[in-house]
Amino acid sequence: MSETHEDDAPQDHDQKGSYVTAGSEFRRDMTYIPDRITRDARDGWPVEAGRYRLIAARACPWANRTLIARRLLGLEEAISVGMPGPTHDKRSWTFDLDEGGRDPVLGYERLQEAYFARFPDYPRGITVPALVDIPTRSVVTNDFSQITLDLATEWAPLHREGAPDLYPEALRAEIDELNDWMLHRVNNGVYKAGFAGTQEAYESAYGELWDALDVLEERLADRRYLMGPAITEADVRLFPTLVRFDAVYYAHFKANRQPLFTMPNLWGYLKDLFQTPGFGDTVDFRQIKEHYYVVQTDINPTQVVPVGPSLERFLEPHGRDGLPTDTWGPGGTAPLPPLAAEVVDPANTPLHLTGR
């Protein structure tokens, strides 16, 4: 399952404008700010409650991972969160959901300001998720792959009692291999299909994506979660892609071999996680659809946002209870409900139908 490379050509993948380059395949810029927040402050950024603000748009799958990890680990009080709106322009994600259009902690209108506070000539995309140092109001890192790993390990002293071990040491090598494979084939695979600039590039990406989904369908036939009976970092990374699949990727990105709900193991797994505290309660389907269908105008020039699909099926029985299960791991417990200020608008999620 291992992959040996990642696309590294510059690609401003989170900004409004041109996503598709005619005559070429999509290549994601994987060069991020490498600084880490650690217990030993090796990069100058110590783990410290209340010092950092996580900027994570609900619309973005890469940011969705950090919201899930923060919830599962109980880091809400240690790391505050700012949530940009689902649509933006070429310059930056904007805090248009906040009163006065400014983040109430940083005072910024645009995430771009936090990047420029540290790097005045920052040459790459202004991406989420991003961790911002509150005292200096400057970005620390936007390395989405490393952020969740550090939340699970470096921030352990501030985890809630009963927090799951999302990155157990004995499974790290296998989790890393699976995550790398999923990144290329699934998480970024949908983008490779959707932003392909040639028929050949599209068909190649489409084939790799569906081959990978078939592998995952088989993997989940006899295990409740990707690594077995307990939730891990691998599930945190796959869920945001799967939950967006039928609503966006199936049609918008032309990943239309079949809807995900027709694949019994993947669909049951997705429903299972959606109904698990910390997963579905981070998902805002209205914001997700507005982001893709409004921002990506070269794919959807009319900016018309689909009404469907029906969301009620996310709450149907998932049928995964008979598989070996230790959801939260030894000594682990479910997270507390989300903070009142972070509850998803009931109009934008099916969870309100059951009062969850």
- Among this protein's residues, is 250 annotated catalytic? no
Q: CB neighbours of 26 closer than 8 A, spacing ≥ 6?
A: 7, 11, 19, 20, 191, 192, 194, 195, 196, 197, 201, 205
Q: Which of 19, 108, 115, 191 is catalytic?
A: 191
93 annotated as belonging to a binding site for a ligand:
yes
Nearest of 239, 230, 245 to residue 332 by alpha carbon: 230
- Contact at 8 Å (CB) between 28 and 306? no
What φ, ψ does residue 69 adopt, rounded to 5°? -60, -45
115 among known catalytic residues: no
Residue 38's CB: how many other CB atoms inside 10 A?
Answer: 16
Counting other chains too, the contacts that 304-311 makes at CB distance below 8 Å and 24 or more residues apart are: 306/247, 306/251, 308/247, 309/246, 309/247, 309/259, 311/285, 311/349, 311/350
CA distances from 3 to 180, 219, 227 (A): 7, 18, 19
Binding residue positions for glutathione: 93
Catalytic residues: 60, 191
Binding-site residues sit at 93
